[in-house]
Amino acid sequence: MKPRIEILRGDITKISADCIVNAANSSLMGGGGVDGAIHRAAGPMLLEECKKIRREQYPNGLPIGRAVATKSYGLAKNGVKYIIHTVGPRAWRDNIELLKDCYINSLMLAEQLGCKSIAFPAISTGAYGVSIEDSARIVRSVLKNYESGIIERIMLVLWSERDYEIYKKELGDLS
């Protein structure tokens, strides 16, 4: 089954989906941008669970392209069950094609968790400097032929009007 792809403009902390994806950094200790917004909305228990994941699974930090899930805490009020944390590549030092792994591994984890809907921000396109055009191209390459027995809806949530317009142009035919 091909999931329905929706391109939305707004704040991912206001989205109702079984899971939302966080553009985390490898420390998992929170940060600015969407990461900060998700930690603020979820509350301090989220940081506690992230610290536990660091201690028990990733003492050296979460590698680029990998994904881990936590509970959603304060975001449960939106119907969110899980937050999937993934670390995008930094445009100035990493291979930006690793962004593909962020999306694929987040989708695989969401399936394992039985999520029917998932919302993504435009990972790496803020502080990590990947252009929205490269993001749209890479997301397109992942979603073009993506099928799932579990996921029915994929939401791509863009913060700025410009990013939203570019995603609509580059990915609108998939939605």
Q: Catalytic amino acids? A: 35
| Bridge partners of residue 22, in order along the sequence | 85
Instruction: Tell me which H or E stretch contains 165.
Output: helix 161-171
The answer to whether residue 33 forms part of the interface with ligand ADP (CB under 6 A) is: yes
Q: What distance, in Å, lies between the first and last C-alpha atoms of the chain?
A: 14
For residue 96, the 8-state DSSP code is: G
Number of residues that bind ligand ADP (CB under 6 A): 21
Stretch that binds ligand ADP, among 30-38, 53-61, 65-73, 137-145 (CB under 6 A): 30-38
Query: In the set 5, 21, 35, 46, which binds ligand ADP (CB under 6 A)?
Result: 35
Helix (H, G, I), strand (E, B), or coil: what is residue 118?
strand
Stretch that binds ligand ADP, among 6-14, 63-71, 103-111, 146-154 (CB under 6 A): 6-14
Helix (H, G, I), strand (E, B), or coil: what is residue 69?
strand
For residue 49, the 8-state DSSP code is: H
| Token representation of residue 105 | 């591994």
Nearer to ligand ADP, 109 or 130 (CB): 130
The answer to whether residue 34 forms part of the interface with ligand ADP (CB under 6 A) is: yes
Sequence-ordered list of residues with C-beta below 8 angstroms from that of 134, at least 6 positions apart, any chain: 96, 99
Contact string (CB under 6 A) for ligand ADP, positions 150-169, x = contact: -------x-xx--x------
Binding-site ranges for ligand ADP (CB under 6 A): 11-13, 23, 33-35, 37, 88, 121-128, 157, 159-160, 163
